[in-house]
């Protein structure tokens, strides 16, 4: 896998994980 793909997946995962928690605040 390319680093660009891994970076994009990491960003999407962080958004999905931390997104709801930030909205709940």
Question: For the chain, what are the domain ranges?
Answer: 1-24
Question: Where do we find the tokens 């909205």?
Answer: 23
CA–CA dist 5, 24 (Å, integer): 29
pLDDT value of residue 12: 95
Record the pTM: 0.54
Nearest to 6 by CA among 14, 16, 22, 19: 14
- CA distance linking residue 23 with residue 15, whole number of Å: 11
What integer is the mean pLDDT of 3-20?
93
Of the pLDDT bands very low, low, confident and very high (cuts 50, 70, 90), residue 25 is low
- What average pLDDT score do residues 8-25 get? 86
């Amino acid at each position: 896998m390319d680093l660009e793909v891994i970076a994009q997946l990491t960003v999407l995962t962080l958004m999905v994980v931390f997104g709801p928690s930030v909205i709940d605040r």
